[in-house]
């Protein structure tokens, strides 16, 4: 099923920072040249509120100066996820054979991909805070997947590996892509593993909500409602699950 989620401004900013570090390719489609094929740009830097994009090749029919002020549809792939946004060409720099477009920072970014409901794109750019008993400050990682019953996250480094034992009770707070609210829930650690390069710790947790705790019950109900909304939106787009 096709999911389309509008990221919050905070999540969109995280995605852009990741894209800048990765120097991703952008597929650029100017609205003023709807009949021409999209051309490729390389996200190479940021100048204040502008994105610096190098253009190695441009369709011969497109006069680059005609792009100033043009709105463009941009598509990029980052860590296996497909993103798209609309932006405007603010300026153009040309020197010798090098050409660069300066785009305004987009207000909104949308993520699209095909996922199963239990492994939705709601995890994109979604931060997780995790508290261990006796730890004054939370550890911060990224959501790897989430369902109505539990979640998995990745934490940078391996420092917590020796401190965590399967069955430990952990408190987590996390967000979902496209939603501003935080979901705070108790969990039980069910599995842990290191990534292949041993640079990150992957934790799998099951929600441990107590029936007599109305706050925990409410948080779980809101999470399940958000996941259902994502599933419903994707069904509306495809007509199928």
Regarding whether 152 and 46 lie in a shared domain, the answer is no
Helices (H), ranges, 23-139: none
Q: Give the domain CATH number at 57.
A: 2.30.110.10
Instruction: Count up the domains in the chain and report the number.
Output: 2
Q: Which of 80, 114, 148 is the last residue of a domain?
A: 114
Q: Which of 114, 133, 153 is the last residue of a domain?
A: 114
Tell which residue, 206, 198, 197, 77, has the closest CA to residue 145: 206
Regarding whether 110 and 125 lie in a shared domain, the answer is no
Regarding whether 171 and 78 lie in a shared domain, the answer is no
Regarding whether 60 and 163 lie in a shared domain, the answer is no
Q: Give the domain CATH number at 177.
A: 2.40.10.220
Regarding whether 101 and 185 lie in a shared domain, the answer is no
Under DSSP, is residue 126 helix (H, G, I), strand (E, B) or coil? Answer: coil
User: Could you count the other beta carbons within 10 Å of the beta carbon of residue 229?
Assistant: 14
Regarding whether 34 and 74 lie in a shared domain, the answer is yes
pLDDT along the chain (241 residues), means of 10: 69 88 92 80 91 82 79 88 91 80 90 50 71 85 86 87 89 86 92 86 92 91 85 51 39
Regarding whether 26 and 102 lie in a shared domain, the answer is yes
The pLDDT, as a whole number, for residue 25 is: 94
Please enumerate, as own/partner, the contacts of 206-215 that have beta carbons within 8 Å and a separation of 24 or more: 206/149, 206/150, 207/149, 207/150, 207/151, 208/169, 209/185, 210/186
Regarding whether 147 and 110 lie in a shared domain, the answer is no
Contact 129, 139 (CB under 8 A): yes
Regarding whether 167 and 69 lie in a shared domain, the answer is no
Regarding whether 6 and 87 lie in a shared domain, the answer is yes
Regarding whether 232 and 207 lie in a shared domain, the answer is yes
| Spatial distance between the Cα atoms of 107 and 38, rounded to a whole number of angstroms | 21
Regarding whether 128 and 107 lie in a shared domain, the answer is no
Q: Which of 67, 88, 114 is the last residue of a domain?
A: 114
Under DSSP, is residue 129 helix (H, G, I), strand (E, B) or coil? Answer: strand
Range of the domain at 38: 2-114
């Amino acid at each position: 099923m096709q999911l389309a989620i509008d990221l919050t401004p905070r999540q969109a900013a995280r995605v852009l920072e990741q894209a800048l570090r990765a120097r991703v390719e952008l597929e650029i489609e100017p609205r003023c040249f709807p009949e021409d094929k999209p051309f490729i740009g390389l996200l190479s830097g940021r100048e204040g509120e502008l994105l610096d994009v190098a253009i190695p090749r441009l369709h011969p029919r497109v006069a680059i100066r005609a792009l100033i002020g043009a709105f463009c549809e941009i598509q990029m792939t980052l860590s296996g996820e497909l993103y798209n946004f609309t932006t405007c060409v603010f300026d153009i720099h040309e020197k010798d054979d090098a050409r660069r477009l300066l785009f305004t920072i987009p207000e909104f970014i949308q993520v699209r991909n095909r996922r199963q409901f239990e492994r939705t794109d709601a995890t994109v750019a979604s931060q997780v805070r995790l508290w261990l008993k006796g730890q004054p400050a939370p550890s911060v990682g990224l959501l790897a997947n989430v369902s109505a019953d539990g979640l998995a996250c990745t934490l940078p480094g391996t420092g917590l590996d020796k401190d965590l034992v399967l069955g430990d009770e952990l408190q987590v707070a996390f967000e979902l892509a496209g939603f501003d609210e935080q979901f705070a829930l108790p969990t039980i650690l069910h599995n842990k593993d290191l990534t292949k390069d041993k640079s990150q710790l992957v934790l799998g947790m099951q929600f441990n909500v107590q029936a007599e705790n109305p706050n925990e019950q409410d948080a779980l109900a809101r999470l399940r409602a958000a996941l259902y909304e994502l599933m419903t939106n994707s069904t509306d787009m495809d007509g199928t699950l």
